[in-house]
Amino acid sequence: MKKYKNSRRKKTNREMKGITYFFVLIFFSMIVYFCYFMLVLAPEQISSPYNARIEYLSSKVIRGSILSSDGKVLAKTETGEGEEKRVYPEGIAFSHPIGYSSKGKTGVESMANFYLSRSSINPLEKIMNQVEEVKNPGDSVVLSLDSKLQSLAYSLLKDKKGSIVCMNPKTGRILAMVSTPSFTEEDIQNNWEALTSSDNKDGNLLNRATQGLYPPGSTFKLLVALEYIREHPLDWQNFSYTCKGEYVDPENSSYVVHCYNGEVHGKVDLESAIADSCNSAFAKLGTEIDPLRLKALAESFYYNQKIDIGLSANGGQFTLAEDAGAWDKMQTAIGQGATLCTPLQNLCMVSAIANGGNLVYPSLLSSVQNANGTTEKEFPYGESQSLLSQNESDALKQFMRKVVTEGTAGALQTDAYKVCGKTGSAQVKVGGELKTNAWFVGFAPMEDPEIAISVLVEEGETGGKTAAPMARKVFDQYFHKEG
């Protein structure tokens, strides 16, 4: 009997321990989830326009300001006569990245809503404010945008449709992001129906940097060249083609790709084919490289997926199939056909090349400050991803350097700094007419890149004539070589 009682007692103890461990596990799981929610999920949940707590927070906190990296106030809340008004002191040049906070929220106003809606002042100050029924001043969000670069980029595009976006390839920090035509807070308040009407063909609210989808034109030749190098690791330097101004598919003479204005480039290797932007050479390359491998390479550079930096975005498109015909292959190789990308996506491509093959994922938020200017949070750089090897990066850098010194981007030739770049001129149909979008992507200085840029001008003639000179002015501003 005693043995039976001991056995029963042990069994009971085991059961009690099991129950205890179970509840301890639940307790710690709740703590872990709570920490995860506060650190990871809370900002997103608070930023959601469907979160009822936002209204509560706005009753307690005066919405914080948004600042540029050089201290310019890009958005702030003014109070007076019992009312609060959101104002944007630097105006229309910053509208797309900053967004608006009426008629819903977009841009940084949306993505940073959690931080702008809270107050990190001293708890004693909060108590005093509560006693006096005064709202607490909200935290400010500091962006990576350089106000001078942003303003210059907008002035260059002011009367055109397009986008200029720049970043530091080492850190991924976005230095400028402009989309035109733009909008003002007054437009949002007074012309909302016109802005959102299907009759509005200007797309003022569209952030062309992250949402605009365009044929990449000859800028895509950088990826085609990279794929050729990978498929011919030992002999790609031996590539040779004699350009006669056009490439005719040997199996179907109706498939013809012309060089720009029918220019004859003569004998070219891979480097000079890039420098001269020889469509004929790349049309031939397009029929030789593996379409599935090219698709995999394109997707590693964010085709068929979005680049998510917290702003509304569209993903680039690449649809070349394994059994694609010669015409589709030829068109794809020169950046036409069904291939589409955003200016930000093209920027990421050249940033990876600039940074030794490693893309540091782009980011816009730098830090959070309380009302007294004390830093409460610093946002880390984006993750680094290896997209190409150092040797591949070095080869493409040399190609891009020759584009500037001997090719289509001569507007960027200067002794002040060395630029590597690629122009592009992509044909599109606009209202039944064939127009040309102008591209330039590149970085500087060549030896130790500090800034990469992507310029897209809709109906802008050629990349060399329109986009490259704009990039030159941005580089001059950055390196303080104005004038």
> For residue range 156-179, what is the model confidence (pLDDT) as tens digits?
999 999 999 999 999 999 999 999
Nearest to 259 by CA among 225, 221, 297, 306: 221
Whole-model pTM: value is: 0.88
- Ramachandran region, residue 480 (left: φ > 0; alpha: ψ -120 to 50; beta: rest): left
Segment 460-464 shows an average pLDDT of 94
Instruction: Dig out the tokens for 397 from the structure.
Output: 């850098």
> For residue range 94-151, what is the model confidence (pLDDT) as tens digits?
999 999 999 999 999 999 999 999 999 888 888 887 877 789 999 999 999 999 999 9
Asked which of 16-25, 114-123, 418-427, 462-471 is least confident by mean pLDDT, the reply is 16-25
Q: How far apart are CA 287 and CA 332, in angstroms?
A: 10
Segment 364-385 shows an average pLDDT of 96
What are the start-end ranges of the E strands in 264-417?
A: 266-268, 358-360, 365-369, 375-378, 384-386
Segment 458-468 shows an average pLDDT of 96
> For residue range 205-229, what is the model confidence (pLDDT) as tens digits?
999 999 999 999 999 999 999 999 9
For residues 137 and 122, is the Cβ–Cβ distance under 8 A?
no
Report the mean per-residue pLDDT for the chain.
Answer: 91
Q: How far apart are CA 380 and CA 375, in angstroms?
A: 14
Q: How far apart are CA 88 and CA 74, in angstroms?
A: 5
Within 10 angstroms of residue 346's Cβ, the number of other Cβ atoms is 31
Grade residue 13 by pLDDT with cuts at 50, 70 and 90. low
- pLDDT value at position 483? 41
282-286-291 Cα angle (round to 5): 150
- pLDDT value at position 379? 98
Q: Which CATH architecture does the domain made up of 59-144 adopt?
A: Alpha-Beta Complex (3.90)
> For residue range 278-331, what is the model confidence (pLDDT) as tens digits?
999 999 999 999 999 999 999 999 999 999 999 999 999 999 999 999 999 999
Domain range 150-363+384-478, its CATH number among 3.40.50.300, 3.30.70.2190, 3.40.710.10, 3.30.70.60 = 3.40.710.10
- pLDDT value at position 35? 45
Residue 3 pLDDT greater than 70, yes or no = no
> For residue range 110-126, what is the model confidence (pLDDT) as tens digits?
999 999 999 998 888 88
- pLDDT value at position 7? 59
What 3-state DSSP class applies to 159?
A: coil
Residue 24 pLDDT greater than 80, yes or no = no
- pLDDT value at position 127? 81
Whole-number percent of the chain with pLDDT over 70: 88
415 exposure class (CB count in 10 Å sphere: 0-12, 13-18, 19+): exposed
> For residue range 392-424, what is the model confidence (pLDDT) as tens digits?
999 999 999 999 999 999 999 999 999 999 999
Residue 2 pLDDT greater than 80, yes or no = no
Residue count of the chain: 483
